[in-house]
Amino acid sequence: MLINSEAKIFVARRIDGDGDWQMPQGEIYRGEAPRDALLRELREQLNTNNVKILAESQGWHSHDLAALRQKWFLALFRGREGDLKLSTDSPEFDAWRWVSSVELTALAGPSKRQLYLNMLAEFADPVIDAMRLIGTSELAEPPKRTSNLLHRDILLIDAERERLDAGPLFITDGEVNFIDGFIHDGSIGAECGLQLMSYWGYCERHAWVSLAVEMSTLHGFCSRSASLYVDILRQAVDALEANNRRAVEKQLAENGGCMICTANPGRRGLLSGVELAQAKDPLPLRNFAEASSPFWQQDCCPRCIIGVSGGHLCRHHMIEVLNEGAAPDLADERQRLMNMLVRLENYAWSFSWGFRGIDGPEDRAALISAIGWCSGWSSLAALLPLPPSPASPTRS
């Protein structure tokens, strides 16, 4: 498991085998130490072994009927991205990229999924330690992303370690209690409202977790999320009116913190076991998303989800692209968000008396599109695997 300074995990796409993505692996020769085999394989497959070994699996693992035993290592990549080159002599892979732990488990086929979850759990502590201690002197290139994203990934790994059985969204008891209290709380307080607006909703996982809990506890009556994202989309349409790239980039950036991360609700809850289980059930959200998917799939962000071709960048990745100096068509993007807003307003209205039933699947899809645009798509992809298309363009 090769990670970078943002706790993202290296995966590469197999040339054979239906475009499966996996971590680098290889054979240990007779008489060879496992560590030496690791360094040799990295050099052979990726052209560099500039890594720091952070941990070694306690035991030997296997994941399929072939019952090949595996020794796992966690290693931090210290080199430059440009040094990573897929072997041309006897290539096994034709593309590579860094993914979050959620994406990794979503990408893994059923035969590897449990093994990957086990390894994420076993390596969670060394990853967290490494991210805390990481000095830029260790690295050829400084970390690119904000600490915010990093924090999110660490939280996620933490949640995975504690709750391997907590479903694809890794919802903890404490989170359910917090969200349940919040959605039954009459109205959003002014302070919470402000925090939600300036942060553009929640962090990626909490955005989908909130909607999942709202869907399952209120039986689909998610008027709170609908009206929140109506407000946020209005803010987005305003932000895109700014007349230069720098201004737009600044306006789209989040301020403050995710409300649920800030509250840090812990793992315990007051609700009964039955209520917790009901609230964590991802099925209502999955059904809702599936039923409207023809209307939101074209809004999926190709940088969030592997295999999406076409699509539209989410807010984070729009900021990234602006930061890289590209010039996306902002007027076009503003028009797209305006259309989304109109559909979402219709959905929000459908919760009022006299307007029940005015919404169609395209209106309900706008809620999915709005959340994906604000916070990102990877948790939804874990819930509702979107098939990776082998022909999709990737870095290689």
DSSP state of 138: G
Judged by CB under 5 A, the residue of 166, 237, 261, 384 near Zn ion is 261
* Number of CB atoms found within 10 A of residue 135's CB: 6
Between 196 and 367, CB nearer to Zn ion: 196
Judged by CB under 5 A, the residue of 258, 285, 308, 322 near Zn ion is 258
Is 317 near Zn ion (CB under 5 A)? yes
Task: Give the span between the Cα atoms of 55 and 127, in whole angstroms.
Answer: 9
Q: Which residue type does 273 have?
A: G
Judged by CB under 5 A, the residue of 171, 230, 233, 314 near Zn ion is 314
Are 42 and 79 in contact by the 8 Å Cβ rule? The answer is no
Judged by CB under 5 A, the residue of 303, 321, 384, 394 near Zn ion is 303
How many residues at the interface with Zn ion, by CB under 5 A? 11
To the nearest whole angstrom, how small is the minimum distance from the Cβ of residue 316 to Zn ion?
A: 5
Piece of the chain touching Zn ion by CB under 5 A; list 113-121, 161-169, 185-193, 307-315: 307-315
To the nearest whole angstrom, how small is the minimum distance from the Cβ of residue 309 to Zn ion?
A: 14
Between 73 and 170, CB nearer to Zn ion: 170
To the nearest whole angstrom, how small is the minimum distance from the Cβ of residue 311 to Zn ion?
A: 9
Are 341 and 357 in contact by the 8 Å Cβ rule? The answer is no
Q: Which of 352, 344, 358 has its CA nearest to residue 232?
A: 344
To the nearest whole angstrom, how small is the minimum distance from the Cβ of residue 110 to Zn ion?
A: 26
User: What are the tokens at 126?
Assistant: 């060394």
Are 18 and 108 in contact by the 8 Å Cβ rule? The answer is no
Is 301 near Zn ion (CB under 5 A)? yes
What single string gives the DSSP state of each residue in 143-168? Answer: --S-HHHHHHHHHHHHHHHH-TTSTT
For 344-353, the CB contacts below 8 A with 24+ separation are 344/226, 344/229, 344/230, 344/233, 344/370, 345/230, 347/226, 348/223, 348/226, 348/227, 348/230, 351/221, 351/223, 351/226
Piece of the chain touching Zn ion by CB under 5 A; list 54-62, 156-164, 204-212, 358-366: 204-212
To the nearest whole angstrom, how small is the minimum distance from the Cβ of residue 35 to Zn ion?
A: 36
Judged by CB under 5 A, the residue of 8, 161, 206, 280 near Zn ion is 206
To the nearest whole angstrom, how small is the minimum distance from the Cβ of residue 202 to Zn ion?
A: 5
To the nearest whole angstrom, how small is the minimum distance from the Cβ of residue 372 to Zn ion?
A: 8
User: What are the tokens at 287?
Assistant: 């059904």
Q: Enumerate residues 6+ apart whose C-beta is below 8 A from 35.
A: 53, 56, 73
To the nearest whole angstrom, how small is the minimum distance from the Cβ of residue 376 to Zn ion?
A: 5
Between 177 and 346, CB nearer to Zn ion: 177
Site mask, Zn ion, residues 340-379, x = CB under 5 A?
------------------------------------x---
Task: Give the span between the Cα atoms of 115 and 353, in whole angstroms.
Answer: 50
Q: Which of 144, 134, 210 has its CA nearest to residue 370?
A: 210
Judged by CB under 5 A, the residue of 260, 322, 340, 366 near Zn ion is 260
Piece of the chain touching Zn ion by CB under 5 A; list 142-150, 192-200, 300-308, 384-392: 300-308
Write phi, then psi, for 180 (nearest 5 degrees): -60, -45
User: What are the tokens at 214?
Assistant: 């709202």
Is 203 near Zn ion (CB under 5 A)? yes
Between 17 and 385, CB nearer to Zn ion: 385
Q: Which of 206, 202, 253 has its CA nearest to residue 229?
A: 202
Task: Give the span between the Cα atoms of 349 and 223, in whole angstroms.
Answer: 9
To the nearest whole angstrom, how small is the minimum distance from the Cβ of residue 299 to Zn ion?
A: 11
To the nearest whole angstrom, how small is the minimum distance from the Cβ of residue 10 to Zn ion?
A: 19
Is 252 near Zn ion (CB under 5 A)? no
- Positions touching Zn ion (CB under 5 A) are 203, 206, 258, 260-261, 301, 303-304, 314, 317, 376
